[in-house]
Amino acid sequence: MAKQGSGSILQFAPLQSSVDEGFWHRLSSLKLNKFGIDDSPIPISGFYAPCSHPQVSNHLTLLAESLPSDSNDESTMPPVIRGNRNRCYVPGILYNTNTMEGFHALYKQALLKAEAMKIWEDIHSGKAVEDCAVLSRVLLISFADLKKWNFHYWFAFPALALDPPATLVDLRPASQWFTLEEAESVSAACNEWRNSSVTADVPFFLVSIGSDSHAAVKHLKDLEACQRDGQKLLFAFYDPCHLPNNPGWPLRNFLALISARWNLKTVRFLCYRENRGFADLNLSLVGEALITVQQGWREQQCVPNAVGWELNKGRKVPRCINLAKSMDPTRLAISAADLNLKLMRWRALPSLNLEILFSLKCLLLGAGTLGCQVARMLMAWGVRKITLLDNGRVAMSNPLRQSLYTLDDCLNGGDFKATAAVRSLQRIFPAVEAEGIVMAIPMPGHPVSSQEEKSVLEDCKRLNDLIDSHDVIFLLTDTRESRWLPTLLCANSNKITITAALGFDSFLVMRHGPGPFNSILNLKAETENSLAAGMDNLALTNTDGQHRLGCYFCNDVVAPTDSTSNRTLDQQCTVTRPGLAPIASALAVELLVGILHHPNGIFAEAEIANSSSGGNFELPLGILPHQIRGSLPHFQQMTLLGHSSNSCTACCSTVSSVLLLVLDNCDFIIQVSRILLLKTNICTS
């Protein structure tokens, strides 16, 4: 329908809002750094431009520049940029509340009336004629939830409502109203207006057409002169709307101005729209409106009603936008961490299995020099679930070598290492799921008094539960005997176990072989039957024992190939060259990643590094050794292989089966001492 029937109410297409993400970033920054809890209204600038597309309306836009600067200078006004043809300036105001309740409690009608009042005053004072940009205003109310990064907001574009409303006599495309010569001249004049930086962003103007079809574009203040000339006169405005049957919102206040200031009853208007930066008279509309005399409109004190709150998909509700993904520092840290690993996968290691790393649960026994470094390396590989177990406190000498601690952790007697380490990990990467357990590992050879029986028993149980509930266990303690019970329990549960041990200037990093049972048995089996079945099973796999890779204690019985390093390890060094711990920890984690990417996992055969292997590896991460022994004095590293021993004190099938019996029995402590007896027997046999 190209023409409206005469006498129908003139209906305006509401303005639509568009808020650039930068606006919310700047508002958050201002709130956090400048305004704090001060919720006084903030002056803002809106921007719009004439419609530039036949199917899409232009929006009134807010950008970062719509707000005052968030730098430390004193300016509280947004920068005013004039002369930009695509950003016609609209003065505005923002009421940003400190709470959600405050947001809902705002008396919206009063705020709207206050803004409408400003327009009304500008109309009557003549300011609207001088600087017509003030005919349009934007009112925004918002609540910025800076914890969840939700921004609730509601726009209003104040329009003075004519009462009774204006009626539409005629509305048609401009090309159908002008003659050909007039249309050409109007286009040219408008393009000139739009191209001059002085007038490009002046959104309301006059088009006067002489009898010679020559069109001229004039400022509003030239109205009286134009009227005297008696030429055809159109009231033109930049129309953001694209609709063929309705003019855009800015015409409302324009008509209010025309009626109140110049008392005109019949208004011929031009909705100026463009295509590709030039005037488009097919898209632009020319119409004629009839305004009835308003009651008391010539008096300033009689303020007309105002409308203009924006609907949200047809509903009278505010809008909400969530920007956590681009503003929450934790989310940004996570995506940056992921990016690093994904880049590695894309560029160098397409078979990298990030999912397994993200879901892996690692238990670190020991939060000292080795524990701190291993934890950091694990996080660097994308491991998020880390449990640290240590019963010690951070000592003054620790921060130098134990990379998760600082001086603050040493004060007042020192925090527990396990808790300090978790805190530190969370400071490095907030998304880590870290847990600290303050607990001592029960050790053979250390007598247990009767008062301590119960708690030691509980510790054993707790250790067993911890091992059960994790996928990988790192043995990073500083004594030999503290590694024994965990080794035993890990072998029983067939968990990936990695040991790192330091001498003064040498280290050992190794992965334990699988346990003596090929499948993980339920250690809490209560029936005799299942226990018997377990015993049968063990009989079958006993013969397999030779092919399993050894654990840390298998070395006790199997003669190592390098006797000097063995002696060093026996010395229970607590003093080591500082470079050793980072090297050993890094190798331990890299070894783990190798295991995770090996098709056989814990059952993977061991490989030895030799110079003839060159650069071609079967697996993308390279070989998967059993043991790595390094020596700093030689700057040398060797890969070794050791098979399990049938008489190993920790992982042989005999010990494991006894453990089964023992764990099944509630009288645990007696059984533990039996194990110690067994150990002695095995060693001497």
Partner 1 sequence: MDVLHWDGTLSAKDFRIGAFAFAQKWESCNLAFPPWSWLPCPKHPWLAPPEEEGYLSLEKICISRPNEEEDIDQISQIDTGEEETCCSRNEDILDDATLVQSNHHELHYCDFHIVYSSTFRVPVLYFRAYCSDGRPLPLDEIEKELPACASKELSKKWTFITQEEHPYLKRPWYKLHPCGTAEWMKLLFLSDTANPKFEVVLELYLLSWFSVVGQVFGLRISFKISN
Residues in Cβ contact with 370 at an 8 Å cutoff, skipping those fewer than 6 apart: 474, 476, 500, 502, 581, 584, 585, 588
In the list 41, 93, 108, 646, the residue contacting partner 1 (rule: CB under 8 A) is 108
Beta strands (DSSP E) in 135-240 are 138-145, 150-160, 167-173, 204-209, 215-218, 232-238
**Sheet architecture: strand order including 266-272:** 8-9, 167-173, 285-290, 266-272, 232-238, 204-209, 215-218
165 binds partner 1 (CB under 8 A): yes
Which of 28, 97, 98, 150 is in the footprint of partner 1 by CB under 8 A? 150
* Binding to partner 1 in span 293-312, by CB under 8 A: 305-307, 309, 311-312
Q: Shortest approach of partner 1 to residue 223 CB, angstroms?
A: 24
Closer of 295 and 326 to partner 1 (Cβ): 326
CA distances from 468 to 316, 344, 461, 463, 471 (A): 56, 32, 10, 8, 8
Q: Is 126 exposed, middle or buried (0-12, 13-18, 19+ CB in 10 A)?
A: exposed
Kindly name the residue from 320, 573, 651, 652 that is annotated as catalytic.
573
Beta bridge partners of 215: 209
- 17 binds partner 1 per the rule CB under 8 A: yes
Number of residues interacting with partner 1: please give it, by CB under 8 A: 58
Work out how close the CB of 508 gets to partner 1 at its nearest, in angstroms, rounded to a whole number. 37
What is the crossing angle of helices 653-664 and 484-493, to 10°? 90
Closer Cβ to partner 1, 13 or 651, answer by number: 13
| CB of 334 or CB of 669, closer to partner 1 | 334
Contacts 24+ apart (CB under 8 A), 615-620: 619/594, 620/349, 620/350, 620/351, 620/352
Q: Which stretch binds partner 1 (CB under 8 A): 55-63, 226-234, 623-631, 669-677?
A: 55-63
Site for partner 1 in 471-500 (CB under 8 A): none
- Whole-number minimum distance, CB 148 to partner 1, in Å? 10
Cα 586 to Cα 331: distance, rounded to the nearest angstrom: 27
Q: How far is CA 187 from the centre of its chain?
A: 49
CB of residue 61 to partner 1, shortest distance in Å: 7
Q: Does 382 bind partner 1 (CB under 8 A)?
A: no
Pairing relationship of beta strands 138-145 and 88-97 according to DSSP bridges: parallel
User: Cβ of residue 21: shortest distance to partner 1, in angstroms?
Assistant: 5
x/- map, 57-76, partner 1, by CB under 8 A: --x-xx--------------
Site string for partner 1, 568-607 (x = CB under 8 A): ----------------------------------------
Which burial class, exposed, middle or buried, applies to 550 when counting CB atoms under 10 A from its CB (0-12, 13-18, 19+)? buried
> Using CB under 8 A, which of the segments 137-145, 328-336, 370-378, 654-662 binds partner 1?
328-336
Q: Please say if 573 is a catalytic residue.
A: yes
**Which residues form the catalytic set?**
573
For partner 1, the binding residues (CB under 8 A) are 9-14, 16-23, 25, 56, 59, 61-62, 104, 108-109, 150, 161-162, 165-166, 243, 246, 252, 276, 305-307, 309, 311-323, 325-326, 332, 335-336, 339, 342-343, 346-347
